[in-house]
Amino acid sequence: MITNARHTSGIGLAALVACFVSGQSLTAQRVDAVSNVGVFAREASAMSWKIVAKNTQLTLPFSLAASLPNTDAVTKITALRSGQKQTYVINQIGGSKAPSGSAGTTDSSSSTNLQPGPQVYKFRFPAAVGSRWLVVATVQGRINGRAAGGGAFDVDGDSQADWAARALANPQSKSFQLVAGAAGIEIEVASDAIANTTGTITASSYQTIVQFSIEPDPRRCVATEIGSGCGPRLGVRESSSSTGDALTFATTNATPGGLSLFMIGDRALNVQFPGTRCYLHTNPLIIFGRIIDRTGNASIQLDLPKDFEGKFTAQDVILVRSATKIGIESTNGLGVACRKG
């Protein structure tokens, strides 16, 4: 069935039902040093360093410092709360004005073998199995002279960084949607910084901020991409008002004047259209017809009934007419999972 509707209420799909358990506010039950956690200050042959051994449970706020007359290094970890949102901040501050001096972070276990390196922490949050959480990781900083710093985040427990960034003046951020497992939520964070003074560099300093916030995910729906398109792209935005919730699907970078066939299905596909580099990424159960505007865009808004809960897939396939044939363009697919409002 093809309809020319720009707006529809009650999407009413025969989709698979998925239960989402509502989350609630939580506090880190444990913060552990996954690596040795240390800071050092070096000035010629003099050395100052402080270390917290691996597998030590930390109490927040936490502070660690090493300093000499012309060098210093400080690590501070604090926790902030605003309503149900919590923010955990790892602040590294240090620098050197000494000839052949240095300061920074280390994971070394002794001063005789001290090497610059990242400090690694694990934050553990008790949470109901299936509850959904929004985590936003951010890295920023001020770097002067011969200095550097940054951070990395592992949010899925595989001991591999899911996102990393160097400290720059403009904040860099990455959002994650997490679902609590039997162990709750576990987030591993690495933070590193180093400043050196050598040769013509007579002063170096850093201030890096590696932080993340965690809160119950306020969105009813979470969308993940399925495959890729062959030119156009499909995105989705959730909105709420006094009259209810809605999802707006937007197609961009399509050929102006093309016929858009916006499709909704209940499973993901990866079927190539013959003779093209385009793929069908959903089984079409409902199709809405639209015309791509002169800027190459089209959008459609679907209302979400308060009691709707489930999963569905979506994609836009565009028919483009030329002088001799009708061509096909397709977007990436989207898998959408929604809970009750």
- In whole angstroms, give the CA distance from residue 253 to residue 295: 8
Residue 29, domain member (yes or no): no
Residue 321, domain member (yes or no): yes
- Are 148 and 194 contacting, i.e. CB atoms less than 8 angstroms apart? yes
Residue finishing a domain among 175, 193, 216:
216
Same-domain check for residues 239 and 212: no
Residue 237, domain member (yes or no): yes
- In whole angstroms, give the CA distance from residue 112 to residue 116: 13
Same-domain check for residues 276 and 173: no
Same-domain check for residues 255 and 207: no
- In whole angstroms, give the CA distance from residue 152 to residue 119: 10
Same-domain check for residues 199 and 279: no
Residue 247, domain member (yes or no): yes
Residue 28, domain member (yes or no): no
Same-domain check for residues 16 and 57: no
Residue 26, domain member (yes or no): no
Same-domain check for residues 181 and 226: no
Phi-psi region of 64 (alpha: psi -120 to 50; beta: other; left: phi over 0): beta
Same-domain check for residues 82 and 42: yes
Residue finishing a domain among 182, 216, 250:
216
Same-domain check for residues 67 and 195: yes
User: What is the tally of structural domains in the chain?
Assistant: 2
> Is this model's pTM higher than 0.75 or not?
no
Residue finishing a domain among 201, 216, 231:
216
Provide the 3-class DSSP secondary structure of residue 111: helix
The whole-angstrom distance between residue 196's C-alpha and the CA centroid of its chain comes to 32
Residue 146, domain member (yes or no): yes
Phi-psi region of 309 (alpha: psi -120 to 50; beta: other; left: phi over 0): beta
CATH of the domain at 300: 2.60.40
Residue 224, domain member (yes or no): yes
Same-domain check for residues 172 and 227: no
Look up residue 273 and give its DSSP letter: P
Same-domain check for residues 165 and 233: no
Give the pair of three-digit tokens for residue 197: 């003074």
Same-domain check for residues 161 and 230: no
Q: Whole domain around residue 204: which residue ranges?
A: 34-216
Same-domain check for residues 145 and 273: no
**Tens of each residue's pLDDT in the chain, 341 residues:** 222 233 322 333 222 222 222 334 567 889 999 999 999 999 988 999 999 999 999 999 999 999 999 999 999 999 999 999 999 999 999 999 998 899 999 999 877 778 899 999 999 999 999 888 999 999 999 999 999 999 999 998 888 999 999 999 999 998 888 889 999 999 999 999 999 998 788 899 999 999 999 998 878 888 889 999 999 999 999 988 667 789 999 999 999 999 999 999 999 999 999 999 999 999 999 999 999 999 999 999 999 888 888 999 999 999 999 878 899 999 999 999 888 87
- Are 180 and 96 contacting, i.e. CB atoms less than 8 angstroms apart? no
